[in-house]
Amino acid sequence: MDGVKGYRRLIPSLTALVEFEAVARLRSFTNAARELGVTQAAVSRQIRLLEDLLGVRLLDRLHRKTTLTAEGDALYAVVSQALGKIAGVFDRLSTTGIDDEEVVLAATAAFSNFRLMPGLARLKRVLPNLRVRLTTTMFTGDLRHTEVDVEFRYGNGKWADGTSQRLFDERVFPVCSPAWKDEHGEPGSLAELANMTLIADDPTSEGWLTWEEWFRAVGAPPVKLKYGVRTSLYSDAVQAARLGQGVVLGWGRLLQEHLASGELVPLTNAVLPLSDAYYVVVPHGKAMSPTVQTLVELLRSADEAA
């Protein structure tokens, strides 16, 4: 085909791209060399080769710190995604028929307790020999410096340390036990709800709503709220609501099994849809394995069935 350049002419060195991806992800020539099993000098030569070929500087080499230039950041975004897809195919082809696998997952305690554990139970029935290592996170970390295969996050889906895939959206509304609702009745207004016994938890995760924020968002700023129970963990707040100690903010996607079973029930029709959502995030340089993809599909199917 005349006039068409092959990949070999357009991309002179795949080795250079692989080593550039490692340096950009780890922000260190030394750590990249250690990961790749080569010398630091060899990595430096490959980066200089790329910069000479492109005619731009890709990395700023500072004392004990390496940062990406604008051009380097643009190249890294494409290279990491492409290498991740290639690695995913290799992983799928090379592990066909192998059912003894370990996956490292990260999630907040709330997502882990209410959504991930039930999903893992279903996954283990499909892959009984699967080994899972779960890391609990309080705040969004940096996947470039961990061994995590995938992290489940809540937010806008825009993170610099990985490629995100939307899992499902979220809505927040007041919930309580059926017995508590029978005893106290449904509030006739948001003002009446504000005077009921509320259960609160400390907002330790980004994007986590307080009762005050929820009332303001639905257009009814409360004067003063009455808390019957305050907890550090959302799971404890939910448990208090299940035991009939008051009303808790229900994150619908997290509590879908409690709502489906009738352990918890909505107290009012006031629902706050959120613009942020839950995402599955794969670190740059990695690909979503077939096992993790199966877990994601199980989580989605459970959500659709609810």
- Chain CA centroid to CA 111, Å: 10
pLDDT computed for residue 2 by the predictor: 44
Q: From CA 86, how far away is CA 285, in angstroms rounded?
A: 10
Nearest in space to 152 (alpha carbons), one of 22, 295, 43, 20: 295
pLDDT computed for residue 295 by the predictor: 82
The answer to whether residue 76 scores a pLDDT higher than 60 is: yes
The answer to whether residue 94 scores a pLDDT higher than 60 is: no
Answer for the pair 131, 270: CB distance below 8 angstroms, yes or no: no
What confidence tier does 95 reach under pLDDT thresholds 50, 70, 90? low
Q: What is the DSSP annotation of 244-274?
A: TS-EEEEETTTTHHHHHHTSSEE-SS--EEE
pLDDT computed for residue 13 by the predictor: 72
Percent residues over pLDDT 90 in the chain: 31
The answer to whether residue 223 scores a pLDDT higher than 80 is: no
The answer to whether residue 93 scores a pLDDT higher than 80 is: no
Of 4-13, 72-81, 84-93, 232-241, highest mean pLDDT: 232-241
Q: So where are the chain's domains?
A: 7-94, 102-168+277-305, 169-273
Q: From CA 159, how far away is CA 157, in angstroms rounded?
A: 6
Least confident range of 16-20, 40-44, 83-87, 199-203: 83-87
Fold (topology level) of 169-273: D-Maltodextrin-Binding Protein; domain 2 (3.40.190)
pLDDT computed for residue 77 by the predictor: 82
Q: 22 by DSSP, 3-state: which?
A: helix
Average confidence (pLDDT) over 184-195: 93
pLDDT computed for residue 30 by the predictor: 86
Q: Give residue-wise pLDDT tens across range 102-112.
A: 888 888 888 98
pLDDT computed for residue 292 by the predictor: 83
CATH topology agreement for domains 102-168+277-305 and 169-273: yes
What separation in angstroms does the CA of 142 have from each of 19, 50, 82, 151, 160?
A: 20, 26, 20, 10, 9
Fold (topology level) of 7-94: Arc Repressor Mutant, subunit A (1.10.10)
- pLDDT greater at residue 259 or residue 36: 259
Q: Give residue-wise pLDDT tens across range 135-154.
A: 887 666 666 656 788 899 99
Q: Give residue-wise pLDDT tens across range 247-266.
A: 999 999 999 999 999 999 99
The domain 102-168+277-305 having CATH identifier 3.30.420.40: the answer here is: no
- pLDDT greater at residue 113 or residue 142: 113
Average confidence (pLDDT) over 220-235: 86
